[in-house]
Amino acid sequence: MDTSDFRNGVSILMDGDIYTITDFQHVKPGKGGAFVRSTLKNVRTGRTLEKTWRAGERMEQAFLERRPMQYLYNDGSDYYLMDPETFDQISVSKDKFGEGVKYLKENMDVTVLSHKDAIINAEVPSFVELEVTETAGSERGDTASGGGKPATVETGAVVNVPFFVKIGDRIKIDTRNDQYLERVK
């Protein structure tokens, strides 16, 4: 592929890594040749970088496959997933999940990202519902301060929640930024 094929979400191979195009802009200055400014996100590390390409420059496109899997259990360093269609089980190292690993719960649906049958990344859902197992008691009348308190959920993750949340409540959490969203009935 070349720079005229750039689209947001397209993945390319560059310097031995896979990058996804998150933003690009074709520029045609008054003098000199046209070029393309792009923002790329490394699929493995999540880091972004800016890169400028000459118009028409060629690179190899990376075809990524997203598959839904079900999380079964872990043995400390490896996390075992099952394909819901074939019932095949695979193990994925903890680092493939990144920060989202703290929200993993048995039988949770996850997404596995692979390139040429090699697993690159594993993602937990963007929003999860978990039960609060530990938190401080609420202060009566302390609703106007707008503050919060730390709460531990059933997976062991600690999230900041409003004062009215108590042990046993089910809460919805945004796993991308560790934010409490709401109580779930």
Summarised one tens digit per residue, pLDDT across range 103-151 is 999 999 999 988 888 888 888 898 999 999 998 876 665 555 567 889 9
Range 48-56, long-range pairs (CB < 8 A, 24+ positions)? 48/22, 49/19, 51/14, 53/3, 54/3, 55/3, 55/4, 55/26, 56/2, 56/3, 56/4
Which residues is 27 bridged to in the sheet?
35
Q: Name the amino acid, one letter, at 10.
A: V
Domain ranges of the chain: 3-61, 65-123, 127-184
pLDDT given for residue 171 in this prediction:
93
pLDDT given for residue 53 in this prediction:
92
* CATH 2.40.50.140 fits domain 127-184: yes
Q: Is the pLDDT of residue 45 over 90?
A: no
pLDDT given for residue 141 in this prediction:
57
pLDDT given for residue 145 in this prediction:
58
Summarised one tens digit per residue, pLDDT across range 5-39 is 899 889 999 888 899 999 999 999 888 889 999 99
CB atoms within 10 A of CB 38: 21
Span 3-61 CATH architecture = Roll (2.30)
Reduce the DSSP state of residue 32 to 3 states and report it: coil
- Put simply, whether the predicted model's pTM sits higher than 0.85 gets the answer no
The alpha carbon dihedral of 109, 110, 115, 118 has a sign of negative
Say how far residue 24 (Cα) sits from the centre of its chain: 22
Does 127-184 match 65-123 at the fold level?
yes
Q: Is the pLDDT of residue 80 over 90?
A: yes
176 pLDDT band, cuts 50/70/90, is confident
In what helix (H) or strand (E) does residue 134 lie, and over which residues does it extend?
strand 127-135
* CATH 2.40.50.140 fits domain 65-123: yes
